[in-house]
């Protein structure tokens, strides 16, 4: 099935088509998934806060990594949920576990991102308040 899909959708310029399909997947998730929208809004707010606080290159690297990690894992979580829903519409304990574990991965990355954000932003905010 996978090769049939590729044969029909990706003919010439396959590398460019692969990028196009990846972007289409991201846009689909943004349109259809509430959590992806939430992560994007939070990411935009963090970027604005970073600009206002004049982050260093290293701080920006950590922020960019965290944003990319959380959004990437949310996309993977969404894909896993879709595949599980495709395979079975009935309740199955393994299907639930697969969805819960994928959601847990996003949660771990989000908590890590909050900790890193706190390490970066709390001293800057406290310094601004004290000044």
Judged by phi (left if over 0) then psi (alpha if -120 to 50, else beta), residue 12 lies in beta
Q: Is 90 annotated as a binding residue?
A: yes
To the query of whether residue 97 is one of the catalytic residues in this protein, the response is no
Helix (H) or strand (E) holding 10: none
- Domain co-membership, 22 together with 42: no
Q: How far apart are CA 32 and CA 129, in angstroms?
A: 39
C-alpha of 82 from chain center:
16
- Domain co-membership, 79 together with 108: yes
Helices (H) and strands (E) in the chain, counts: 5, 0
Q: Give the per-residue pLDDT at 12.
A: 56
- Domain co-membership, 49 together with 2: no
Q: Is 33 annotated as a binding residue?
A: yes
- Domain co-membership, 84 together with 55: yes
Q: Is 74 annotated as a binding residue?
A: yes
Q: Is 54 helix (H, G, I), strand (E, B) or coil?
A: coil
Q: Give the per-residue pLDDT at 5.
A: 55
List the chain pLDDT tens, one digit each, 131 residues.
455 555 555 455 687 788 999 999 999 999 999 999 999 999 999 999 999 999 999 999 999 999 999 999 999 999 999 999 999 989 999 999 999 999 999 999 999 999 999 999 999 999 989 98
Q: Residue 104: CB partners within 8 Å, gap ≥ 6?
A: none
Q: Is 7 annotated as a binding residue?
A: no
Residue 7 is part of which domain span?
A: 1-32
Q: Contact at 8 Å (CB) between 74 and 36?
A: yes
Of these residues, 74, 106, 113, 120, which one is catalytic?
74
- Domain co-membership, 38 together with 7: no
Angle of CA points 18, 27, 37, to nearest 5°: 145
Please report, for the domain that includes residue 112, its CATH number. 1.10.287.3610
- Domain co-membership, 19 together with 44: no
- Domain co-membership, 65 together with 89: yes
13 DSSP 8-state letter: S
- Domain co-membership, 98 together with 117: yes
Q: Is 97 annotated as a binding residue?
A: no
Q: Contact at 8 Å (CB) between 121 and 62?
A: no
């Amino acid at each position: 099935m996978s090769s049939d899909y590729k044969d029909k959708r990706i003919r010439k310029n396959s590398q460019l088509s692969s990028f196009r399909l990846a972007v289409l997947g991201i846009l689909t998730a943004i349109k259809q998934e509430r959590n992806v929208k939430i992560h994007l809004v939070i990411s935009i707010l963090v970027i604005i806060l970073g600009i206002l606080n004049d982050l260093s290159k290293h701080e920006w690297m950590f922020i960019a990594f965290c944003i990319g990690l959380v959004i990437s894992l949310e996309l993977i979580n969404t894909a896993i949920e879709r595949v599980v829903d495709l395979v079975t519409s009935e309740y199955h304990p393994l299907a639930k576990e697969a969805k819960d574990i994928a959601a847990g991965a996003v949660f771990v990355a989000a908590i890590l991102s909050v900790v890193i954000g706190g390490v970066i932003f709390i001293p800057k905010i406290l310094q601004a308040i004290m000044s």
